[in-house]
């Protein structure tokens, strides 16, 4: 596997990638040398970027072997998510790794701007001593309005409370409990927050809704002398409107870490004395970069290995513990799904997934993805993965319905799939014994207790003497060892199903010979 790193990440991260046996190329120039990037990206399985490299539709068209985009950081606004999902490319980031640094930088900008620290520093370093031009303002007793009370916003909120600030926030997407948890007053309308705040700090992602959300209209109603900070994304506070509001004396100072266009040395904000600007340094601390580097390396490695990754942006969000608890169910889900196209050939109309018992209390959306991945893998191979499994079903006109039953049946937990076609419904069910032992417990109404193994022979036969012996003889003759064997029937003398786990592949000729045995109705080698 080859990984291209186009922006500076911590040495520890590079080492971790190398130690996993990947071939790593680091070329920081490629973040801005677009032509060369597009030219060589086809040679790579994964790319690791920060906020500079633009991962857009044109990029994906050249990245024909790409499986993973690793964002060594938090914001993913430089990455086209739809393009990745359509192609089954996993996008992973490190949303927790640099939050403290971003919050601390926000606070640094807030204090430095309201006390004119950078301006005074430049002044004295130019060999001037004059205290008259730098009078600041205290924080204590002032109102800080936070827009976006997420990871970083909430850290800023609690830290600024220690300065004696009254903290209010506008975030329509979080619960009242989150406001209470951080002792932050909830403001229902952005306009009201703007009117009440002495300081405004934005902490939302850049979205269609947030881009320009603090603009000319908002500045018209803001308190005269309001101070603003943007350490989130350029343009959340509209840059032109900010320049105007500063010139008009509405905004007393601004602390800015991010600009709409980066890198940028020509923004009019740079000409204003009461604006202090840093070149996107929010995440630039030793701790954050070590954290980010090591985390992204681990994530890219697991994503390349084809598994679920906790911080995959275009997959259900899972915490590490949740993922641990779900691992065996993901494996079981894939196994159940894989049975279908290896046993049946009918086009699917609908897939029902029923979770019952203890698994019903878990975050099962990822297990449904595992089932869908399993269903399509035998016919689409590596073109289907966790990222595009749902989309693949949708594009094929297949509806997917999940339901949960908390009542326990025969098993502590059970995952059941009903695959509905025009002619019939295929069913399969499985359970997890103990902590991690997956078992197939039912296929098409026949009950088993079968441990999935890479090769399974599944036969439908008439329930009569001699069937097992004949299959055993034919497999023995072709040197295939039977590991385990289970036979299930519902009515004596009618149809039965055999489940034989075998230690190696069974060749076509042997399969044909078994198929020709009188009483064998159907035989399939299933690869799980
Ligand atoms: N300057 C830097 O170097 C860094 C910047 N960032 C940026 O900081 C920002 C915040 O990051 P996190 O706190 O980790 O994100 P988060 O996802 O934890 O929190 C964002 C919050 O914004 C809220 N939100 C979304 N749309 C909103 C709207 N229209 N109005 C009000 N609230 C809205 C969400 O409900 C959420 O609570 C992101 O833009 C991220 O890219 C992050 C790290 C470093
Ligand atoms: O993590 C983020 O969202 C940041 O803004 C940090 O960006 P960077 O990795 O320093 O280019």
Cα–Cα distance measured from residue 18 to residue 104, given in angstroms and rounded to the nearest whole number: 32
Pocket mutation for ligand 2, best pick of 75, 79, 258, 288 (most atoms within 8 Å of C-beta):
75
Place of tokens 């509905």: 420
Q: In the chain, helix, strand, coil percent, each to 5?
A: 40, 25, 35
Q: Which CATH class is domain 452-528?
A: alpha beta
- Report DSSP state, residue 51: S
Give how far Cα 469 sits from Cα of 140, 449, 476, 488, Å.
87, 21, 10, 16
CA dist list (Å): 329 to 402, 429, 435: 15, 12, 10
Looking at residue 407, its pLDDT comes to: 76
Judge contact between 437 and 328, C-beta under 8 A: yes
- Which is catalytic among the residues 227, 280, 341, 416? 280
Task: Tell me what pLDDT residue 456 has.
Answer: 96
The answer to whether the beta carbons of residues 292 and 73 sit under 8 Å apart is yes
In angstroms, how far is CA 99 from the centroid of its own chain?
17
Cα(507) to ligand 2 centroid in Å equals 54
Give, in order, the Cα–Cα distances in Å from 424 to each of 187, 210, 342, 345, 427.
55, 49, 16, 11, 10
Task: Give helix 99-114 / helix 151-161 axis angle, nearest 10°.
Answer: 50
pLDDT by 10s per residue, the chain, length 528: 999 999 999 999 999 999 999 999 999 999 999 999 999 999 999 999 999 999 999 999 999 999 999 999 999 999 999 899 888 899 999 999 999 999 999 999 999 999 999 999 999 999 999 999 999 999 999 999 999 999 999 999 999 999 999 999 999 988 899 999 999 999 999 999 999 999 999 999 998 899 999 999 999 999 999 999 999 999 999 999 999 999 999 999 999 999 999 999 999 999 999 999 999 999 999 999 999 999 999 999 989 987 778 888 888 777 777 878 888 999 999 999 999 999 998 999 999 999 999 999 998 999 999 999 999 999 887 778 888 899 889 989 999 999 999 876 789 999 999 999 999 999 999 999 987 899 999 999 999 999 999 999 999 999 999 999 999 999 999 999 999 999 999 999 999 999 999 999 999 999 999 999 999 999 999 999
Ligand 1: which of 49, 73, 93, 102 to mutate, judged by most atoms within 8 Å of the beta carbon? 102
Residues 316, 308: Cα–Cα separation, whole Å: 9
| Token digits of residue 134 | 């730098």
262 catalytic? Reply is yes
Among 145, 144, 149, 188, smallest CA distance to 164 is for 144
Query: Which CATH superfamily groups domain 1-97+285-315?
Result: NAD(P)-binding Rossmann-like Domain (3.40.50.720)
CA 418 centroid distance within chain: 28
Residue of 185, 262, 322, 495 with catalytic role: 262
pTM assigned to the model: 0.81
- 447 catalytic, yes or no? no
Determine whether 320 is an active site residue. Answer: no
Domain 1-97+285-315 matches domain 99-277 at the CATH topology level: yes
d(CA 281, CA 126): 25
- Residues 87 and 382: their CA atoms lie apart, in Å, by 11
Pairing of strands 413-421, 348-357: antiparallel
With a threshold of 0.95, tell me whether the complex ipTM lies above it.
Answer: yes
Residue 157 phi, psi (nearest 5): -60, -55
Q: Whose CA is nearest to atom 8 of ligand 1?
A: 232
CB 364 within 8 A of CB 331: no
Superfamily name and number for 317-423: D-3-phosphoglycerate dehydrogenase; domain 3 (3.30.1330.90)
pLDDT, position 116? 98
| Long-range contact set of residues 423-426: C-beta below 8 Å, sequence gap at least 24 | 423/346, 424/346, 426/340, 426/343, 426/344
Name 251's bridge partners.
226
Ligand 1 mean position, distance from CA 213 (Å)? 13
Distance 98 CA to ligand 2 centre (A): 8
pLDDT given at position 306: 72
Query: For a pocket test of ligand 1, which of 109, 150, 201, 212 has the largest count of ligand atoms closer than 8 A to its C-beta?
Result: 150
- Structure tokens given for 118: 């950078």
Q: What is the pLDDT of residue 345?
A: 85
Q: Does the domain spanning 99-277 belong to CATH 3.30.1370.100?
A: no
Q: Give the residue, by CA position, lying nearest to ligand 2 atom 9.
A: 50
Domain boundary assignment for the chain:
1-97+285-315, 99-277, 317-423, 452-528
What are the CA-CA distances from residue 62 to residues 57, 95, 111 (Å)? 9, 27, 45
Question: DSSP letters along 2-17, please?
Answer: EEEE-S---HHHHHHH
Instruction: List the strands of the sheet with 23-26, edge to edge.
Output: 23-26, 2-5, 46-49, 68-71, 90-93
Please answer whether residues 357 and 413 qualify as being in contact, where contact means their C-beta atoms are separated by less than 8 angstroms: yes
Give the three-state DSSP class for 446: strand
């Amino acid at each position: 596997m080859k990984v291209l790193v186009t922006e500076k990440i911590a040495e520890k991260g590079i080492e971790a990638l190398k130690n996993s046996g990947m071939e790593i190329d680091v070329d920081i120039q490629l973040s801005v040398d677009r032509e060369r990037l597009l030219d060589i990206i086809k040679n790579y399985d994964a790319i690791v970027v920060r906020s500079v490299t633009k991962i857009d539709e044109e990029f994906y068209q050249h990245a024909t072997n790409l499986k993973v985009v690793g964002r060594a950081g938090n914001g993913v606004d430089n990455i086209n998510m739809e393009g990745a999902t359509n192609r089954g490319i996993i996008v992973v980031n490190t949303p927790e790794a640099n939050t403290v640094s971003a919050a601390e930088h926000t606070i640094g900008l807030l204090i430095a701007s309201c006390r004119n620290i950078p301006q005074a520093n430049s002044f004295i370093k130019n060999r001037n001593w004059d205290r008259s031009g730098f009078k600041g303002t205290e924080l204590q007793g002032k109102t800080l309005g936070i827009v976006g009370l997420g990871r970083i916003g909430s850290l800023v909120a609690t830290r600024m409370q220690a300065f004696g600030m009254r903290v209010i926030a506008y975030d329509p997407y979080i619960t009242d409990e989150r406001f209470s948890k951080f002792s932050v007053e909830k403001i229902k309308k952005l306009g009201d927050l703007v009117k009440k705040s002495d300081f405004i700090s934005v902490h939302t992602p850049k979205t269609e809704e947030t881009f320009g959300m603090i603009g000319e209209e908002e500045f018209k109603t803001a308190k005269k002398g309001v101070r603003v900070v943007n350490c989130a994304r350029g343009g959340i506070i509209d840059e032109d409107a900010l320049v105007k509001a500063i010139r008009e004396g509405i905004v007393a100072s601004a602390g800015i870490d991010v600009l709409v266009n980066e890198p940028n040395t020509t923004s009019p904000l740079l000409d204003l004395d009461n604006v202090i600007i840093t070149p996107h340094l929010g995440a630039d601390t030793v701790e954050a970069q070590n954290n980010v580097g090591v985390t992204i390396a681990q994530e890219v490695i697991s994503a390349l290995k084809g598994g679920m990754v906790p911080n995959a942006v275009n997959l259900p969000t899972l915490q590490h513990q949740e993922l641990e608890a779900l691992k065996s169910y993901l494996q079981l889900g894939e196994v159940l799904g894989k049975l279908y196209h290896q046993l049946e050939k009918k086009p699917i109309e609908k897939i029902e997934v029923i979770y019952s018992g203890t698994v019903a209390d878990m975050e099962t959306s990822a297990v449904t993805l595992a089932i869908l991945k399993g269903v399509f893998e035998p016919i689409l191979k590596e073109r289907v993965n966790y990222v595009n499994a749902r989309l693949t079903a949708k594009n094929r006109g297949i509806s997917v319905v999940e339901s949960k039953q908390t009542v326990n049946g025969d098993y502590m937990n059970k995952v059941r799939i009903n695959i509905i076609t025009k002619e019939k419904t295929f069913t399969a069910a499985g359970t997890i014994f103990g902590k991690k032992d997956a078992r197939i417990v039912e296929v098409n109404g026949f009950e088993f207790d079968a441990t999935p193994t890479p090769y399974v022979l599944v036969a439908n036969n008439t329930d009569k003497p001699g069937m097992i012996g004949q299959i055993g003889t034919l497999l023995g003759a072709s040197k295939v060892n039977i590991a385990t064997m289970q036979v299930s029937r519902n009515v004596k003398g009618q149809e039965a199903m055999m489940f034989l786990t075998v230690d190696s592949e069974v060749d076509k000729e042997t399969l044909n010979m078994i198929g020709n045995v009188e009483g064998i109705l159907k035989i399939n080698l299933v690869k799980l």
